[in-house]
Amino acid sequence: MAAEKSDDQKRDAGSGRPLGGASRDLIAPGGKVDADRVRALANQMDREGFETGDDEDGALTVTFKLSRDLKKRLDKYLQDRIGFMSRTQLQRLIKEEAVTVNGRVPKASTTLRIGDEVRVMVPPPPTSEIPAEDIPLTVLYEDDDLIVINKADDIIVHPARGNKAGTIINALAFHFKNRSGGSLSNVGREDVRPGVVHRLDRHTTGALIAAKTDTAHWRLGKQFAERTTDKRYLAMVVGRVEPVLDTIDLPIGKHSKHRERMAVQYGANAKSAITNYRVREQFDGFALVELELKTGRTHQIRVHLSHLGWPIVGDDMYGGPLLNMRDVVGGDGDIDDEDEPLMHRQALHAWSIAFRHPISNERMEFKAPIPADFRRLLAVLREYRSRMTGTITPPGATVDLEEVENLVSE
């Protein structure tokens, strides 16, 4: 015979939803967070393409509304609701400001009263270890709390869809075990993405952070959630981009016909998406654009630029052409290998990222040298295509193009 539910379980079941998204039921009858549902939702996000989202953090939250005066400490209340986390873990969650009461940051000892609304960022339950693989990594910075790498092309950030091999996470596991020491944070381990604070698409290169401790993870995650990080990208797009700087404020949701794609949408399931762009060089038929993300939606840059008629070179998913040498040089160029591939993946690179160190609070900024294919594309355009402008620096631009040219990975 099933145990009878307590009054507070019956009345304070609450609701669950992904951060920034539409409501989803993460709370089982009786008012407890369902670990299986949390895990299933995270896996669903992977299946739908969120594993390759441009900085889409994929965090999950649950909200409880108290309909009676429990007079109970916050940490004890959450322990009753989230059974797969210990009281110590919940206290750390509260300390890291991943819990709010009525929109304010509480203490673990905060006494809950009738009408209080408790909102919790819920980490997935713990899982098995990630297989370590000797995959080359370019490390830009590393200490006891975090690591910053220059992500290469054609590698996803974390395992998904039952495949636990060949990812950045596997490479980091090997790196920590055999080269530097430490490990990835436990946050997200159940869904095979420990340490993942933000993500880049499979074919997007550049600066990527991973957390080595739980404290670092929560604090970095909070910076990404509050958009206090500064992320700058470079993209080569097709077309004449006008005006030379603007803000793209268009909501993004799942494409109605293509499961792997996103699209500009205005429906209930669309999310606000804001991208600042600044043209840095304009060629005949192409433009080098600096981009600043104000939100972090899946495929955000790619969708926004394509929607406005400026698809990224090599991004065939969103209408960008795969370039050979002849596509740039045309019939007038004297070249031997006109069929030589020039850019057969999206010309999008996360050039820099700035944030506060999660422990020292020191401001840090890291710049990732652009890869050889992007560097060559820029050189070929400068040689064979008329430059409609020289290098320009619109207000708010921070990328130093001279540094882009000179900064090369060792």
Which amino acids are annotated catalytic?
Answer: 201
Q: Which residue type sits at 301?
A: I
Burial of 117 (0-12, 13-18, 19+ CB in 10 A): middle
The candidate with the shortest Cα–Cα distance to 340, out of 322, 323, 321, 325, is 325
Closest among 347, 325, 321 to 334, alpha carbons compared: 325
Q: Which of 286, 347, 287, 290 is nearest to 313 (CA)?
A: 347
d(C-alpha 148, C-alpha 208), whole Å: 6
Find the angle CA(319)-CA(323)-CA(324) to the nearest 5 degrees.
Answer: 155
Task: With CA atoms as reference, report the closest residue to 203 among 285, 287, 290, 313.
Answer: 313
373's enclosing H/E stretch is helix 372-384
Contacts of 280 (CB under 8 A, 6+ apart): 234, 288, 289, 290, 391, 392, 393, 397, 399, 401
Q: Whose CA is closest to 54, among 248, 232, 286, 264? A: 232
Number of Cβ atoms within 10 Å of the Cβ of 128 = 9
Could you say which DSSP state residue 361 is in?
-
Q: What DSSP string describes 73-84?
A: EHHHHHHHH-TT
CA dist 55 → 210, 233, 296 (Å):
12, 12, 5
Q: Round to whole Å and give the CA distance between 357 and 220.
A: 8
DSSP string covering 94-116, please?
HHTT-EEETTB---TTPEE-TT-
The amino acid occupying position 256 is: S
Residue of 286, 291, 305, 277 lying closest to 349 (CA atoms): 291
